[in-house]
């Protein structure tokens, strides 16, 4: 009887798998409410037959929710965010948004390009952060196309005017999200410019793989394929050094528990970051899609593996979340509630000629690709 049952389950499993493989991943358009000024926000939900779905909204080309099954098949949200679009503007924390023109910091809000100095708003102490006062995260993007098939896909676009937030050149940007049946969510940013400029586009998803933010991330096992990172000063601007992670709390070359060394204040870098808030130099050749990071959440069994084309990845443990922000389901988000993995060039690259270049010329196309693959253990 037992064997017969096992055989039955197996057969059913094969049928289900077969059905899943044949079933197309779907992209469904819908609304996501309106902003306080009445502007309607649209959303596209990408779903596959394996139980994953991603909701992307037009405000900020934001990954607003990401449903992933745990090891028991329970489908829960693994990214922080808000239930209402307006909250992304009034309580900005960059939850899941597309960041631009320049993700992370530019020292003192100044950089020079071809002999001219450009001045940006300083919105993070003495520095400029995440594109200034009204970066790409607070702009309305347009849905260019949605498609179904072996992958579900949405292409969003935004045109940034010449001089917007102090940056030169009119910039045309697209963000393409696609979800396949292998539980891979791929995100690709592309941009062109009307004159030489600088840029660093990334996504700022806050991952909490426990599902619906059940537990903090301190027990997560993290791997970062990086032999070196870029140390920062007290205002989180890179000093220019590329420091070996070996022998420091920044060594995640083998899976390590996030909380194990996050309070190791003997390391000045931990003190400056209030934990982890650093750019890691991803091993291997930038421009090729290669493994960069892995998170394993032991409680749910969820695993996220990330491949990137970017030269660096910012590893940030939600150190500035202070419990005053209530997110989805009215949950207070607190320090250590999430992990951000933001692939891009290095922070403040426009002021560091020896960092991978942030420059984009007329006629060139900028591409930054990242793949988030989910599985369970
Ligand atoms: C930065 C943090 C910053 C956060 C804002 C991260 O990319 O590295 O320092 O507080 O974004 O959400």
**CA of residue 19 to ligand 1 center, whole Å:** 42
On whether the CB atoms of residues 103 and 201 are closer than 8 A, the answer is yes
Atom of ligand 1 nearest to the CA of 236: 9
The proportion of the chain whose per-residue pLDDT surpasses 90, expressed as a percent, equals: 93
* Confidence (pLDDT) at 161: 98
Average pLDDT on 339-352 reads 98
Residue 24 backbone dihedrals phi, psi, to 5 degrees: -75, 145
Mean pLDDT of 33-51: 98
As for ligand 1, residues whose beta carbon falls within 6 Å of it are 93-94, 104, 236, 277, 314, 316, 320, 342
Q: How far is the CA of 127 from the centre of ligand 1 (A)?
A: 12
pLDDT digits (tens, 9 = 90+) for 192-202: 999 999 999 99
Predicted local distance difference test score (pLDDT) of residue 23: 65
* The pLDDT value given to residue 13: 35
Q: How far is CA 156 from CA 7, 150, 173, 217, 377, in A?
A: 46, 20, 8, 31, 33
pLDDT tens for residues 270-306?
999 999 999 999 999 999 999 999 999 999 999 999 9
Cα-to-chain-centroid distance, residue 159: 21
Report whether pLDDT(99) > 70.
yes
The answer to whether residue 12 scores a pLDDT higher than 90 is: no
C-alpha separations of 6 from 2, 10, 18, 32 in Å: 6, 6, 18, 44
Give the active site residue among 130, 204, 278, 352. 204
Q: Worst-scoring range by mean pLDDT, 19-23, 26-30, 311-315, 333-337?
A: 19-23
Is residue 24 scored above 90 in pLDDT? no
Q: Is 342 a catalytic residue?
A: yes
Expressed in angstroms and rounded, the spacing between residue 348 Cα and the centre of ligand 1 is 13
% pLDDT > 70, the chain: 94
Q: How many whole angstroms from 35 Cα to the centroid of ligand 1?
A: 24
CA dihedral 12, 17, 23, 26 (to 10 degrees): 120
pLDDT for the residue 325: 86
Q: Ligand 1, residues 130, 138, 280: which to mutate, most atoms within 8 A of Cβ? A: 130
Instruction: Please count the CA atoms within 13 angstroms of the CA of 343 that sit on its side-chain side.
Output: 29
Locate 56 and state its tokens.
């992307």
Tell me what pLDDT residue 22 has.
52
Strand partners, 76: 68
Q: What is the pLDDT of residues 132-153, one digit of tens each?
A: 999 999 999 999 999 999 999 9
Question: Which tokens hold the place of 164?
Answer: 């917007």
Mutate to test the pocket of ligand 1, among 277, 279, 321, 344 (most ligand atoms within 8 A of CB): 277
Cα–Cα distance measured from residue 336 to residue 277, given in angstroms and rounded to the nearest whole number: 12
Mean pLDDT over 23-52 rounds to 96
Question: How much is the average pLDDT of 36-43?
Answer: 98
Bond preceding residue 101 cis, omega within 30 of 0: yes
Mean pLDDT of the chain: 94
Quick check: 308 pLDDT over 90? yes
Of the residues 130, 184, 342, 352, only one is catalytic, namely 342
Q: Is the pLDDT of residue 130 over 80?
A: yes
Q: What is the pTM of this model?
A: 0.93
Burial environment of residue 8 by CB neighbours within 10 A (0 to 12, 13 to 18, 19 or more): exposed
The span from the CA of 248 to the CA of 113, in Å, is 36
Task: Flag the least confident range among 5-9, 39-43, 68-72, 97-101.
Answer: 5-9
Calpha distance 345→198 (Å, rounded): 11
The residue nearest atom 3 of ligand 1, judged by CA position, is 320
Between 16 and 242, residue with greater pLDDT: 242
CA-CA-CA-CA dihedral for 10, 54, 82, 277, to nearest 10:
90
How far, in Å, is the centroid of ligand 1 from the Cα of 249?
19
Q: Ligand 1: which residue has its CA nearest to atom 5?
A: 93
For 13, 28, 101, 161, 175, the CA distances from 204, given in Å and listed in that order, are 36, 23, 13, 23, 13
What is the pLDDT, as a whole number, of residue 96? 98
């Amino acid at each position: 009887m037992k064997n017969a049952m096992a055989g039955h389950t197996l057969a059913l499993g094969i049928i289900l798998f077969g059905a899943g493989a044949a079933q197309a991943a779907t992209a469904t358009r819908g609304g996501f409410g309106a902003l306080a000024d009445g502007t309607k926000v649209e959303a596209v939900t990408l779903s596959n037959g394996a139980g994953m779905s991603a909701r992307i909204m037009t405000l900020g080309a934001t990954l607003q929710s990401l449903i992933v099954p745990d090891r028991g098949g329970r489908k829960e949200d693994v990214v922080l965010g808000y239930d209402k679009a307006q909250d992304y503007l009034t309580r900005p924390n960059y939850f899941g948004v597309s960041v631009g023109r320049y993700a992370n910091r530019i020292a003192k809000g100044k950089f020079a390009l071809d002999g001219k100095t450009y001045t940006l708003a300083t919105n993070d102490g003495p520095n400029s952060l995440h594109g200034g006062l009204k970066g790409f995260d607070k702009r309305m993007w347009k849905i260019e196309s949605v498609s179904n098939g072996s992958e579900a896909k949405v292409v969003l676009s935004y045109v940034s005017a010449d001089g917007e937030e102090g940056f030169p050149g009119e910039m045309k940007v697209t963000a393409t999200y696609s979800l396949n049946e292998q539980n891979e969510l791929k995100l690709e940013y592309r941009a062109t410019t009307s004159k030489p400029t600088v840029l660093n586009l990334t996504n700022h998803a806050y991952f909490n793989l426990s599902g619906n933010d059940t537990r903090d991330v301190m027990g997560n096992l993290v791997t970062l394929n990086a032999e070196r990172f870029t140390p920062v000063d007290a205002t989180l601007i890179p000093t220019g050094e590329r420091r070996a992670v070996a022998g420091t709390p920044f060594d995640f070359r083998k899976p390590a528990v996030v909380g194990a060394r996050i309070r190791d204040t003997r390391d000045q870098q931990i003190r400056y970051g209030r934990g982890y808030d650093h750019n890691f130099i991803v091993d291997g050749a930038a421009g090729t899609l290669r493994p960069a990071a892995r998170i394993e959440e032991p409680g749910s069994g969820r695993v996220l593996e990330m491949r990137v084309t970017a030269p660096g990845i910012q590893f940030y443990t939600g150190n500035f979340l202070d419990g005053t922000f209530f997110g989805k389901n009215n949950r207070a988000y607190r320090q250590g509630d999430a992990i951000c993995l933001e692939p891009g060039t290095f922070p403040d690259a426009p002021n560091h000629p020896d960092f991978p270049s942030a420059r984009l010329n007329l006629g060139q196309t900028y591409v930054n690709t990242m793949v988030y693959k989910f599985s369970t253990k």
